[in-house]
Amino acid sequence: MGSQRARGSAELDPTFASDNTAGVSAEVLEALSDANADSALPYGADASSEQLTQWAKAEFGAQAQILPVFNGTGGNVVALQALLPRWGGVICAQQAHVNNDEGAAPERVGAMKLLPRHTADGKLTGEDILAETSAVGFVHAAQPLAVSLTQSTELGSLYTLEETAALAETAHAHGMGVHVDGARIANAAAALGVSLGEASADVGVDVLSLGGTKNGAMSAEAVVVINPERSRGADYIRKFSMQLASKQRFISAQLLRLFGSELWRDNAKHANAQAASLGEQLAQIPGVRLAGSPAVNAVFPEVPQDVAARIQSRYLAHVWDTAPTGNPVLRLMCSWQTTDEQIRQLVATAAGE
pLDDT in tens, 206-247: 999 999 999 999 999 999 999 999 999 999 999 999 999 999
Say whether pLDDT at 331 is over 60: yes
Residue 334 CA to its chain's centroid (Å):
14
Which top CATH class is 9-16+264-351? Answer: alpha beta
- CA separation, residue 307 to residues 220, 301, 337 (Å): 36, 11, 25
Given a cut of 90, whether residue 3 has pLDDT beyond it is no
Which of 90, 86, 51, 85 is CA-nearest to residue 68? 51
CA distance 254 to 249: 8
pLDDT computed for residue 1 by the predictor? 42
* pLDDT the model gives residue 292: 84
7-11, 171-175, 231-235, 318-322: the lowest-pLDDT one: 7-11
Summarised one tens digit per residue, pLDDT across range 60-104 is 999 999 999 999 999 999 999 999 999 999 999 999 999 999 999
Cα torsion 272, 275, 276, 279 to 10°: value is: -160
- What number does CATH give the domain 26-261? 3.40.640.10
pLDDT at res. 8: 58
Give backbone dihedrals phi and psi of 114, rounded to 5 degrees, phi first.
-90, 140
Closest CA to 182 of 146, 217, 224: 224
Quick check: bond before 152 cis, omega within 30? yes
Q: How far apart are CA 119 and CA 330, in angstroms?
A: 19
Say yes or no to pLDDT of 7 above 80. no
194, 59 in Cβ contact below 8 A?
Answer: no
CA distance 290 to 300: 7
The percentage of the chain sitting over the pLDDT mark of 90, rounded to a whole number, equals 95
Instruction: Considering the chain, tell me which residue range(s) the CATH 3.90.1150.10 domain(s) occupy.
Output: 9-16+264-351
Separation of alpha carbons 204 and 159, rounded Å: 13
From residue 324, alpha-carbon distances to 264, 301, 303, 312, 320 in Å are 38, 13, 12, 21, 13
The average pLDDT across 34-44 equals 96
Judged against a pLDDT cut of 50, whether residue 26 lies above it is answered with: yes
HSE-up of residue 5 (Cα within 13 Å, Cβ side): 16
Q: Is the pLDDT of residue 4 over 60?
A: no
Could you read off the pLDDT of 104-123 as tens digits, one per residue?
999 999 999 999 999 989 99
**What is the overall mean pLDDT for the chain?**
95
Q: What does each C-alpha distance from 51 to 7, 116, 175 come to in angstroms? A: 47, 37, 33
Beta strands in 109-176 (DSSP E): 113-117, 143-150
Using one digit for the tens of pLDDT, what is the confidence trace for 146-196?
Answer: 999 999 999 999 999 999 999 999 999 999 999 999 999 999 999 999 999
pLDDT of residue 291: 83
Judge whether residue 5 has pLDDT over 60.
no
Task: Calculate helix-pair angle for 305-314, 340-351, nearest 10 degrees.
Answer: 130
